[in-house]
Structures are given as structure tokens and as C-alpha cells.
Chains A and B, each alone.
Chain A
């Protein structure tokens, strides 16, 4: 429990550092939310210099940076994520409908990638230097090398070219219309999973190779245990620690990947919201989204750490 509390307390400086870094980065890059609101992203709007000054004052972006950051932090301490500079709506109202889509996409992708990558990596290790091994390594190498947006566009191209099919337009939540949701989420999740499974498969292979050379595996075989039990009960369980660690990193990487995949597959999740917020220089919204991402990643890491003791009883937390 003390370990858990210590870890949770550690969240605070980490999240502060993350938000501060994002805050500073957003101020360094050129752009102005007031300008965007008046001119429009495509520059269609027309306005007068006094309109711009008035709007900057109304948004509070004319205040010194430290005042803006301080005000945002103060709101956060009171449980208020703030108001979106660009949309003028409470940030919670922007994030709440989008978080489920991104979580659904990420969890699906992690599940699919783990379910495919672990057997692939394990078989590759068990059949080392076979054609199966070379084939699996080639696939994972190619998979790692292809940028995720290329995979996404290729998937869409193939769907349309071969099947004249495209996921239904107009996003539906899982609980609103499950069948439409499945059709909309399946291919982006597979695309993300393909991106991720290559890492996991490679880690699984090397972890399995290492474990398979351990003395206790040789002992188990000498005792006459069934090969299936040796692989599943001993080798895979002992190789699980690095796989779990990588899976937690996967979530962090996938959250990054969702930004572009959501855009390509028209999933209105946190990724597209973040992208739009960056384009609109919506500082408060960007900070809030990054904060959410930080919480998700830190929590995933914490859960992984807690899992270690279950997989390896030698791991104990003081």
C-alpha cells in the first residue's frame, strides 16, 4: 500500500513536468488562437486589428505566460480542467465523448497485438533458424519499418479497391449502434495492432530464446514434462515480464498512433481532438488532453508494475 501511495504521489511532479513542457512548447511555436478564431484555419475570415486585440483580451492570451499557466493550474487544483480557448466550451465536455472512442481503439489494438504477437514471437523462438522464424522476422521487420499512416492509407486503399467498401461514415458509439461501431473500429484497430505487434513479437522472441536456454527448462525436459506444459507453464510465464513491460509501452505508443489513425479512419477520438487543438492553438485543451494521456500511461505502467509480483513471486514491493 505504501508503495502504491508513493507511486501515486510521484504522479504529481511527473504530470506537472509534462504540462509545463507542453505549455512552453506551445508558446514557442508560432500561432495565435485569437487569430485563428477570427481568420479561420483557411484564412477566410476578415477582421480589424482592434477585433484581434479585443479577442486576445477576452481569451486571456494577452496575459504573461506564467499567469496563464498559474491560472490553469489553480483551476486544475479545484477539479476544473478549464474552458477550451477555441471552442469556448468546458474542456470536460470536449473530452468526455471522445475518450471512450480512443480507449476502445487502444484497448482493442493492444489486445489484438498481444494475441497475435505472443504466439508469433514464441513460435519464432521455438523454431529458431527455420523458415517460419525467418518469415516471422521478415514480417516484423517490415512492419516496424512502415510508418503507421502508410499502413492506414494502404488498408483503406485495399478495402475500397478490392471490396468497394469503406467503414460507415458518421461515428457511432459502441452502446449506440454496436454493429456500426464494430465496422468503424475493426480496421483502425487492426492497423494499430499491426504497428504494435511487431515490437511485441520481437520482444517475445528474444525473451523466449533467453528463457529456453535456462537450466530450469532443461531440468523440466529431463523430468519428462510435456513440451506444451514446459512452453506455457514455464518458458512463457518467465518470458512474460518483458512482454508485459513492452505492452505497457505499447499503450503509450498507441496513444500517439491513434492521432493519425483516427484522422485517417474518421474516428472522432482524443487523437483527432488533440490534432485539431494543436492546429487551433487551443492551449488549454492541449494541456488537458496531454494530462489525460499522461494519467493513462502512468496508470498503465503502475498496473504493469503491480502485475510483476504475480508473474514473478520474487518481485516484492517494500
Chain B
């Protein structure tokens, strides 16, 4: 038996609250619920055509091939040129709607998806976009032995894709996966033209790009701007509303703030390079012109030990340091109150404890005395009595963002609460990452921002056997549960499994010392409108970057 989800193409005049809600029905078990933002109210709004929007992004694309891209710096300029099969609803970001797919069906066992494609889609060169292109692209995304920084997220689930007819694609999965369709909706998962790539044309060069998306590239100037013009043959009727789009890169924060104040920026991406304090100041200065739109906290920051090396092999040691860490002091010092408390899973997510529940747990107690006593006891059991017997540890810290300040605060906490000496070793970000990759470090500091709010992304990457688990921590029971939840489609059962996993991290073993969950923020001109009225922020930084749903108020 197949579940059916229809997503008829249509202009915003047909986009009603009912339709948006319908769009989520077929999504069923995979519906997202992380959002703790108030659901945007959908108002009938009449779109206005014309004008050019300027989007501020933090970097110029280092690659142009969507399947080779791994950063928002690249995606911010690539996404407007292509389409995915499905996308996160830009008016209600917790739902998934069709993009090239007008509908899809899922088999009862969750192992087969059948996508029906829109029939009037053409590439910029006039050739039709068909099931052949979709199958080719899906296989290209999971091609073994090729660098696939983000699209490779499909590898654990995608088995094969096949053409049923020119506008129907059947996708078979290796296992039932509630996250598959969400990964497919991430903006990296672009459908590329088979006839162009197979002809040997390098689509990693911007001049060679043949897309299907709402905007065609006109010009790209490295580390300056990328200019797009409207695709007049875009298959979504009436869209894009904008005549042109420009993605600008401003790396100097003072200059970026000045450009915003002069009104030349229409919107930022969720990572503009501006820090929280800067945007809060801008919010005051630009009242009535711009507004801030916060995403949920999607980026965890943590310190960690290399669990294949002494003394971190003994998990009690890292647990002791975590217990002696004051998460409230850190939360207060960073993010101006916009960051969530440190936790192994995103606090308040459907599969995690809430911040209120965490307050009752060891490590979060106020006053801190009992936690510190517990930490000392753990170190004593591990053979470090007094704690200073740990010797001078070395914390490798990248010289980006708030990391040096964060490290200083934590090192001071360790000295104050345990008498442990930690030396800070500052290095540039790539060198730091190389230390994590090679394992050549004592204590490390880094974070992870997830692509989709499903634990199959974050939990798998950080605690699973993936390359982002720089701690090299392996816990058989935890990994067993991780595998078990991966193919569990029943949300309640899945939640139970994930709560067991969280319990392991909170009370038994956790190779990380979480510091906080950071939020990203958009700075958006009040002139930018959507069918929902105002701009609606995406739930993660890697989605909703096509800008075909926005217009500029005259």
C-alpha cells in the first residue's frame, strides 16, 4: 500500500493555510517538530513582481558543483540555479513539499518512494528535465569514491533509483528511513543536467552551469558578488517574483554593518559573518527597516578528548571535567541570551530533554558544589587524586568566532573548580580540523551544525561512526540503539530509543563537554515579503535558499 502526497504547483494565490497543512500530511512520521518558533501565520498576500534583492552571505563559493559543495558559502550562490526533488516549505519550514516532484508515494514498508515529476520543466538550454536527470543525479550524489561532502548524507539510505517513465522515478532504500525525505529536501540535493555532465562539461565552473532553477547566473566576481537574472521559463507559474538576485560577500563586519545600514542589503543568509552582539545592535539601529529572524538552536559547540589516548581512554575523566563545567556561566557569557543550554541532544527537541528537565540533572545543579565534589570523586576513582595529578593538559583551539574566549572561560572554570591546569594552543581552523582528523590532539574544541533537525543527521555525525566523531568514542550499546532507531518509522518508538541514548550520554558516558547550542539569525528588510506575509526563517542554515518565493514590497 502506498501513501500519497500531492503537491500541486501553483501561484501563491492558491496557497492557502489548508494547502500548506495538506502538504505535511503525507509526510507523516517524518514530520518535523523541532521548531520552537511560533508557527508563522499565513496571510493572503498579493505578490509583486520586479526588483532585485541583494543577499549578504559570508563567503564566495569555493565550488560550483552542488554535489561537491559543503558550505553555505557555496550553497548560497548555487541553490537559486537548480531544483531539488522536494524542498522544505519556505512558508512552513517544518514541512516538506514537492519541488520538481509534484507528488510522491511511499510503500508501506518504507523502502520504496515513487516520485511524479512536473512535466513542463526545462533546463536553461531548452532541453526537458526528465526522470533520466533525476536518476542520474541521485546516483551521482551517492557515487562511491567521490568527494560528496553533503549529498553523501544519502549514502546510508539510498540504494538505487530507476526511471519508471519520463516523469516518474522509483527510489529504493537500503532500509526504511524517516530521515531520507528530509535529507532529499536539503538544498545541496540538486538535480543536475545529465546531458551536460555526460558530455564532459565541468559544472564546477560557473560559466558552464545549465540549471533549471528560478535564477540564471549572469556574472560572478570572486569574493565580491554573484549576479543572477530571472529565469523567464521557470516552471513554477509566476515565479520567481524578483527580476534579479545578487549574492554579495562582505567579510569585514564593519563594512557589512554599514552596507546593511545604508539599506543596500535585502536579507542576509543565516550566516552573514555578523556576531550576535552586532546584529542585536543593528536591530536597534534599524528598527522599522529590518527585523531579526532567529533559527532554532542548530549548532552545538563542545570540547572533547581523544578517547584513544590517555587519560581520556577512561571516560570518567572527561565526565569529571564535564561535571565541573558551569554551563550557566558559559550560556550567560555568550550569545546574549539567545543560545540554549549545553546538552548532548538539542534541548527541547522531540527526542531530547527540555532545558527544565536538564536542570534536575547532575552537571546542571545550582549551586555547583555537589557537581564539583562528584567531579573530584570521579577523578579520584580514575587515579587522579588530587585532580592536579592530571598534569598540564593542552586544549587545541581554532582562532575563529568565539572559540578563544570560550576556551579561556572554560580553562578558568577547570582551574577554579578542580585545580586542573590546561594550556590553550591557538591554531587556524583548518589546522585544528586536521588535528581532530589525524587524532593528534589532547583536548579539542569544535562544533557541529546539522542540516536537518532529524537525529539521523546530528546524532549520527557526532556520536556515530561518521567522520565528524573526532573523539573516536565507541559505545556498543549506544551504537546498537543508533542503528535500531535509524530504521524505526514509528515516531513514539523512535523517541523512546533516542531517550535511552540520551540517558547513556547524560549519566554514563559522553566523550564531549557541551558548551551551548548556538542559533543563527537572518537580518531581513521589512520590504521582503512572502505569501505568509513576513519572511519565515528556515530551521537550519542549509535549506530554503532558492529565493523563488519572496518579493519586494513596492
Q: Which A residues form the contact surface with B (CB < 8 A)?
A: 30-32, 35-49, 51-52, 87, 94, 97, 153, 156-157, 159-160, 164-166, 168-171, 263-266, 268, 272-273, 276
Contact = CB atoms under 8 A, between A and B. Distances in A.
Given A35-B434, A39-B429, A169 B467 contact: no
B439 to A, nearest CB: 9
A35 B252 CA distance: 24
Interface in B363-381: none
A43 to B, nearest CB: 3
A38 B431 CA distance: 11
Interface stretch (B35-43, B261-269, B337-345): B261-269
Given A39-B429, A43-B430, A166-B261, 10 more contacts: A40-B73, A43-B400, A44-B70, A52-B434, A160-B261, A169-B54, A169-B246, A169-B264, A264-B255, A266-B224
A168 B71 CA distance: 27
B437 interface: yes
A112 to B, nearest CB: 22
Contacts of B432: 43
B543 interface: no
Residue of B227, B262, B427, B467 with most chain A CB atoms under a 10 A cut-off: B262
B509 interface: no
29 contacts: A31-B431, A32-B431, A32-B434, A35-B430, A37-B62, A42-B59, A43-B433, A45-B70, A46-B149, A46-B433, A46-B437, A46-B468, A48-B437, A48-B467, A156-B258, A157-B254, A160-B261, A165-B262, A166-B261, A169-B248, A169-B264, A170-B54, A170-B227, A170-B248, A171-B225, A263-B252, A264-B252, A264-B255, A268-B224
Contacts of B59: 41-42
A43 B262 contact: no
A56 to B, nearest CB: 11
B147 interface: yes
Given A31-B428, A43-B446, A157-B258, A49 B437 contact: yes
A36 B430 CA distance: 6
A48 B466 CA distance: 11
Given A51-B147, A166-B264, A272 B431 contact: no
A159 B149 CA distance: 42
Contact of A166 (B221, B262, B429, B467): B262
B222 interface: yes
B538 to A, nearest CB: 17
Given A32-B430, A40-B70, A43-B433, A268 B223 contact: yes
7 interchain residue pairs of minimum CB distance: A43-B429, A166-B262, A39-B430, A268-B224, A39-B433, A170-B225, A35-B430
A217 to B, nearest CB: 49
Interface in B68-88: 70-71, 73
Contact of A41 (B246, B263, B430): B430
Interface in B128-162: 147, 149
A32 B265 CA distance: 34
Contacts of B437: 46-49, 52
B537 interface: no
A94 B221 CA distance: 10
B34 to A, nearest CB: 21
Contacts of B250: 266
B358 to A, nearest CB: 28
B251 interface: yes
Contacts of B246: 169-170
A183 to B, nearest CB: 12
B438 interface: yes
Contacts of A276: 222-223
Contacts of A51: 147
Interface of B: 54, 59, 62, 70-71, 73, 147, 149, 221-225, 227, 246, 248, 250-252, 254-255, 258-259, 261-265, 398, 400, 427-434, 437-438, 446, 467-468
A31 B262 contact: no
A82 B170 CA distance: 47
A164 B263 contact: yes
A171 B62 CA distance: 19
A41 B223 CA distance: 13
B429 to A, nearest CB: 3
Given A48-B467, A169-B54, A170-B246, A40 B258 contact: no
Given A46-B468, A94-B222, A40 B259 contact: no
Contacts of B73: 40
Contacts of A160: 258, 261-262
A209 to B, nearest CB: 40
A263 B433 CA distance: 27
A268 B467 CA distance: 36
A45 B433 contact: yes
Contacts of B222: 87, 94, 268, 273, 276
B149 A272 contact: no
Contacts of B262: 159-160, 164-166
Contact of A40 (B62, B223, B263): B62
Given A44-B70, A52-B437, A169 B429 contact: no
Nearest to A163: B262
A171 B221 contact: yes
B301 to A, nearest CB: 12
Nearest to A265: B255
B467 A46 contact: yes
Contacts of B264: 166, 168-169
A263 B431 contact: no
Contact of B224 (A35, A38, A171): A171
Contacts of A43: 398, 400, 429-430, 432-433, 446
B431 A166 contact: no
Contact of A45 (B54, B149, B258, B263): B149
Nearest to A281: B430
Nearest to A40: B71
A156 B250 CA distance: 14
Given A46-B467, A160-B261, A169 B221 contact: no
Interface centre among B71, B225, B246, B437, by most A CB within 10 Å?
B437
Given A45-B71, A52-B437, A40 B248 contact: no
Contacts of B147: 51
A159 B261 CA distance: 10
A297 to B, nearest CB: 24
A168 B262 CA distance: 10
B182 to A, nearest CB: 20
Contacts of B258: 156-157, 159-160, 166
B431 A42 contact: no
A259 to B, nearest CB: 12
Contacts of A170: 54, 221, 224-225, 227, 246, 248
Contacts of A165: 262
Contacts of B227: 170
Contacts of B223: 268, 272-273, 276
B254 A169 contact: no
Contacts of A41: 59, 429-430
A149 B511 CA distance: 44
Nearest to B254: A153
A51 B438 CA distance: 11
